[in-house]
Structure 1
């Protein structure tokens, strides 16, 4: 006796349903997976910072080159420490927003002298950014 089925050979939608289930599970795993991962280590609550790095279009540049004593340049003019204070003060009064100054210093300049120039700019009311030291030319 031979048994024969009365169903058609291939029922298309019955074979497609497990594939849709597989894609749905894969999509759920991808979407929810990162929320179950925890970072190892100490949990800290980071403080809110108002500082945002933005391009400053009206920033002044102070360059300190080596010499005895080191030479201070404001933009492209060589100035003494007293002249630097006077020029920074006049620029601060002319500026509407918080003035910004970038300090560039040569590799051979001592940190003490760099700090002294930075403090002059801070006392004049400027926001000071220390730029990286220049590389040696080869």
Structure 2
């Protein structure tokens, strides 16, 4: 009994499957890497701590950079120090998670005094404030 190949001599569909897999990976890669992007705000060097932040969905991120002239950011928008509370208030109007709006403070190590002032002002206005920090390595 002679065995015969039942596929055509040039199975073009089989060669095309590898190309379809490759295209699917190329389209999937940007979708996955965008979820790994850092949170909104300026890049700051956070102090270390042994405590974990409580989880809050979609907090208002306020970043304060270090240096001689610190910069204040609400999300990805740079604001002046005088307009910081107004910018947070504007973002808090869209707060849908229930309770007082949560504000995540990301303050550079060299700007801790500015961060404390902003934290006290936000607490006086009735916001829940969370202080961002790196977890200390054991």
Aligned position for 1:24: none
Q: What is the alpha-carbon distance in structure 2 between the residues aligned to residue 124 and residue 95 of structure 1?
A: 15
List alignment gaps of at least 5 residues for structure 1.
1-52
SS in 1 for 2:87: helix
Total equivalences in the alignment: 82
- Give the alignment's Cα RMSD to 1 decimal: 2.4
Q: What is the alpha-carbon distance in structure 2 between the residues aligned to residue 63 and residue 134 of structure 1?
A: 18
Q: What is the alpha-carbon distance in structure 1 between the residues aligned to residue 92 and residue 62 of structure 2?
A: 14
Cα deviation, residue 95, structure 1: 2.5
Cα deviation, residue 67, structure 1: 2.9
Q: What is the alpha-carbon distance in structure 2 between the residues aligned to residue 130 and residue 56 of structure 1?
A: 12
SS in 1 for 2:89: helix
Q: What is the alpha-carbon distance in structure 2 between the residues aligned to residue 62 and residue 83 of structure 1?
A: 12
Aligned position for 1:11: none
Aligned position for 1:123: 124
Aligned position for 1:58: 58
SS in 1 for 2:113: helix
Is residue 2:121 matched to residue 1:105?
no
Contact 2:79 2:87 in 1 (8 A): no
Contact 2:60 2:92 in 1 (8 A): no
Aligned position for 2:133: 132
Q: What is the alpha-carbon distance in structure 2 between the residues aligned to residue 79 and residue 132 of structure 1?
A: 22
Aligned position for 1:68: 68
4+ residue runs over 6 A deviation: none
Q: TM-score, normalised by structure 1?
A: 0.51
